[in-house]
């Protein structure tokens, strides 16, 4: 595995791979890697000839300076995990490399980002789209891998790929969970032991919600209230939002259920001061 630290080095590397007719897979990350990330890398290694993994804590997608400062950064440990998982090149740029000058281009995804993460983290998806576009241009992948844990991010990047005609296949990978159901996340490292014990309740709430949606006995609004009430019983969980949404448009479902649609239940919550997100999707007959 090679470690590349500049955009020029990555571009030169991918150019030579493309000339050799090798298929390039890209896995963008912010590091502090866990099994969820490694499964994305293994999937990329299986379907492509070479795999680029980027590790970059992207400042432009953080709306909270403290969150950016506290984001775990362990590049040596990340590098040690990546080679055995099938990574060919680790791209580890500095902020100066990625943002040599302030960007003026602004992304606006309309209704897709006016809900959930986009609503609660102003500017977040502008930052994600900026850095992901740069990574796509620098690595020119045939396939790019993203996790469904960030369901709205996948929808935004699907729109980005379509709008800007990026010539690549977007692969959305299922959410990998701990044995107790907690979605793997780099921010889980910041959970104190008591918060870690409580955190699986988020997935339990989503599972409860999924059962209620499948039964279709309660209205979307009643499902929303029932799940919020379930979480309110745990005082160390502070719910930021719980959305009952259409899985494709991400707009709230209200009034009744639509046959043949897919419902996404998405939440963000603070557990012992750490902000976590999770979701489940429920296809309706
Ligand atoms: N548990 C998981 N299962 C599947 N994919 C995941 C999982 N966690 C993260 N990913 C995916 O890995 C990629 C990089 O994510 P990122 O580096 O932000 O890690 P993260 O664990 O989501 O961290 P955090 O949520 O704390 O920012 C994203 O596409 C993300 O959706
Ligand atoms: C896609 C991404 C690497 C862009 O910084 C980030 O949003 C993430 O880790 O999900
Ligand atoms: N996985 C999403 C990256 C972020 O929280 O900024």
Prediction ipTM score: 0.97
Q: What is the 3-state secondary structure (H, E, C) of 201-229?
A: HHHHHHHHHHHHHHHCCCCHHHHHHHHHH
> Would 179 be classed as within a structural domain?
no
Shared domain for 158 and 202, answered yes or no, is: no
Would you call 124 a catalytic residue per the annotation? no
Q: Which of 173, 206, 230 is the last residue of a domain?
A: 173
pLDDT attached to residue 193:
98
Q: Which residues line ligand 1 (CB under 6 A)?
A: 29-30, 36-37, 40, 146-147, 149-150, 173, 175-176, 183-187
Q: Which two tokens stand for residue 142?
A: 């045939």
Shared domain for 206 and 151, answered yes or no, is: no
36 annotated among ligand-binding-site residues: yes
Burial class (CB in 10 A: 0-12, 13-18, 19+), 98: buried
Q: Is 153 in the pocket of ligand 2 (CB under 6 A)?
A: yes
Which of 39, 72, 73 minimizes the C-alpha distance to 191?
Answer: 72
Shared domain for 157 and 190, answered yes or no, is: no
Shared domain for 146 and 190, answered yes or no, is: no
User: What pTM did the predictor assign?
Assistant: 0.97
What is the position in ligand 3's atom list of the atom closest to the CA of 58?
6
Which of 63, 68, 124, 126 gets mutated to test ligand 3 (max ligand atoms within 8 A of its CB)? 124
| Closest protein CA for atom 10 of ligand 2 | 29
CATH number of the domain that 202 lies in? 3.30.1300.10
Shared domain for 146 and 258, answered yes or no, is: no
Residue pair 254/220 in contact (Cβ under 8 Å)? The answer is: yes
pLDDT attached to residue 10:
98
How many domains does the structure of the chain reveal? 2
Shared domain for 39 and 98, answered yes or no, is: yes
Residue pair 182/203 in contact (Cβ under 8 Å)? The answer is: yes
pLDDT attached to residue 148:
98
DSSP type of residue 62: -
Q: How confident is the model over 255-260, as a mean pLDDT?
A: 97
Label the pairing between strands 237-246 and 274-283.
Answer: unpaired
pLDDT attached to residue 199:
98
Residue 107 confidence class, pLDDT cut points 50, 70, 90: very high
Shared domain for 137 and 195, answered yes or no, is: no
| Closest protein CA for atom 9 of ligand 2 | 29
Residue 161 confidence class, pLDDT cut points 50, 70, 90: very high
Shared domain for 215 and 169, answered yes or no, is: no
Shared domain for 12 and 88, answered yes or no, is: yes
Shared domain for 243 and 165, answered yes or no, is: no
Task: Return mean pLDDT, the chain.
Answer: 97
Strands (DSSP E) contained in the chain are 2-4, 24-29, 50-55, 89-91, 143-147, 169-173, 237-246, 262-271, 274-283
Kindly list the distances between the CA atom of residue 86 and the CA atoms of 76, 82, 143, 224, in Å, as whole numbers in the listed order: 16, 7, 15, 41
> Would 40 be classed as within a structural domain?
yes
> Would 125 be classed as within a structural domain?
yes
pLDDT attached to residue 146:
98
CATH number of the domain that 32 lies in? 3.40.50.620
Residue pair 273/187 in contact (Cβ under 8 Å)? The answer is: no
Shared domain for 39 and 126, answered yes or no, is: yes
Ligand at shortest distance from the CA of 131: 2
> Would 178 be classed as within a structural domain?
no
Q: Give the Cα separation of 269 and 242 in Å (integer).
A: 9
> Would 144 be classed as within a structural domain?
yes
pLDDT attached to residue 101:
92
Residue 26's domain spans which residues?
A: 2-173
pLDDT tens figures, 23-74: 999 999 999 999 999 999 999 999 999 999 999 999 999 999 999 999 999 9
pLDDT tens figures, 167-197: 999 999 999 999 999 999 999 999 999 999 9
Shared domain for 148 and 70, answered yes or no, is: yes
Q: Which of 141, 173, 205 is the last residue of a domain?
A: 173
């Amino acid at each position: 595995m090679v470690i590349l630290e500049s955009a020029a080095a990555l571009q030169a590397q991918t150019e030579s791979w493309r000339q050799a007719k090798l298929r390039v897979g890209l896995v963008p990350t912010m590091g502090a890697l866990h099994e969820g990330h490694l499964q994305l890398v293994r999937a990329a290694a299986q379907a492509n000839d070479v795999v680029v993994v980027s590790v970059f804590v992207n400042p432009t997608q953080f709306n909270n300076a403290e969150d950016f400062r506290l984001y775990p950064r362990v590049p040596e440990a990340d590098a040690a995990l990546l080679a055995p998982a099938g990574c060919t090149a680790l791209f580890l740029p500095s902020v100066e490399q990625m943002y040599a000058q302030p960007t003026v281009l602004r992304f606006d995804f309309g209704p897709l980002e006016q809900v959930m993460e986009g609503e609660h983290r102003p500017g977040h998806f502008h930052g994600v789209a900026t850095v992901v576009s740069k990574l796509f241009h620098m690595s020119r992948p045939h396939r790019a891998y993203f996790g469904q844990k960030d369901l709205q991010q996948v929808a935004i990047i699907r729109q980005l790929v379509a709008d800007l005609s990026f010539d690549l296949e977007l692969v959305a990978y299922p959410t990998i969970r701990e044995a107790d159901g907690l979605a793997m996340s780099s921010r889980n490292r910041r959970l104190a032991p008591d918060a870690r014990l409580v955190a699986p309740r988020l997935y339990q709430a989503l599972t409860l919600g999924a059962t209620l949606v499948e039964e279709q006995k309660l209205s979307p609004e009643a499902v929303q209230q029932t799940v919020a009430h379930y979480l309110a019983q745990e005082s160390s969980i502070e719910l930021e939002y719980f959305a009952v949404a259409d899985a494709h448009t991400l707009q709230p479902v209200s009034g009744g259920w639509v046959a043949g649609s897919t419902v996404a239940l998405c939440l963000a919550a603070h557990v012992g001061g750490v902000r976590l997100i999770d979701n489940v999707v429920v296809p309706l007959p």
